[in-house]
Chain A
Amino acid sequence: GAVVSQHPSWVICKSGTSVKIECRSLDFQATTMFWYRQFPKQSLMLMATSNEGSKATYEQGVEKDKFLINHASLTLSTLTVTSAHPEDSSFYICSARAFEVGTYNEQFFGPGTRLTVL
């Protein structure tokens, strides 16, 4: 149980275009989903916390107009990188918080999306 999927797993796009990444909890309802960014050989950097039906809470320094997050249902959150530029290239990982599996605040992670902006 507690499986999180992400789509796509890898995307290459041109500078100036927008890219949407989907994160789904497959076998549980996730009231809270998280979006992280990871640069090579570094730890995870939390970008935003997404609660179903409400606006996402962004971490300091993360542009909310640049990284649009929508959490429309209990199983789906999306991250849209708008007008992507090469500096947005990174590994984006989503996770979901699963109360139902009884492990309190444990997060289950999606497989990640590697974004390369040319």
Chain B
Amino acid sequence: ELKVEQNPLFLSMQEGKNYTIYCNYSTTSDRLYWYRQDPGKSLESLFVLLSNGAVKQEGRLMASLDTKARLSTLHITAAVHDLSATYFCAVDISMDSNYQLIWGAGTKLIIKP
């Protein structure tokens, strides 16, 4: 069964702290995407990871991909309130012309001042 598991599903943390969100997937893929969703809003693309060992950073967020472990991480450094949102990972299992993304359940992140 194709599965994408995000962990944790809910996270409340204080400003200034560091934390990591994990995205495990059950099938072979070397492409993974991270998105952010604010309440009542649509999805905003954060990172596109296209190969094993890919690491991307934007501000206080850093994403990495380990295709051998079938794991991606989204690391938050010195969290600030503005990062409060729900974060989704999506694994690309497209083959040839058959395009398919498998979505994680999302991690709701609340950062308290």
A residues near B, CB below 8 A? 6, 32, 41-44, 46, 49, 93, 95, 97, 103-112, 114
Closest 9 pairs (CB-CB, A-B)? A112-B42, A109-B43, A111-B42, A109-B42, A43-B105, A43-B103, A105-B92, A106-B48, A43-B106
B residues near A, CB below 8 A? 31, 33, 35, 40-45, 48, 50, 88, 92, 94, 99, 101, 103-106, 108
Which residues of chain B come closer than 8 Å to A49, judged between CB atoms? 99
Cβ contact within 8 Å between A43 and B88: yes
Report how far A23 CA is from B32 CA in the complex, Å: 24
Report how far A114 CA is from B39 CA in the complex, Å: 12
Q: How far is the CB of B8 from chain A (nearest CB, A)?
A: 14
Which residues of chain B come closer than 8 Å to A105, judged between CB atoms? 31, 92, 94, 99, 101
Which residues of chain A come closer than 8 Å to B42, judged between CB atoms? 6, 93, 109-112
Label chain A's interface by main secondary structure.
Answer: strand
Which residues of chain A come closer than 8 Å to B99, judged between CB atoms? 32, 49, 97, 105
Report how far A109 CA is from B43 CA in the complex, Å: 6
- CB-defined A-B contacts under 8 Å, sample of 18: A32-B99, A42-B106, A43-B104, A43-B105, A43-B106, A44-B88, A46-B103, A93-B43, A103-B48, A104-B48, A104-B50, A105-B94, A105-B99, A106-B33, A109-B43, A109-B45, A111-B41, A112-B41
The chain A residue sitting closest to B94, CB to CB, is A105
Which residues of chain A come closer than 8 Å to B103, judged between CB atoms? 43-44, 46
Which residues of chain A come closer than 8 Å to B101, judged between CB atoms? 46, 105, 107
Report how far A32 CA is from B101 CA in the complex, Å: 13
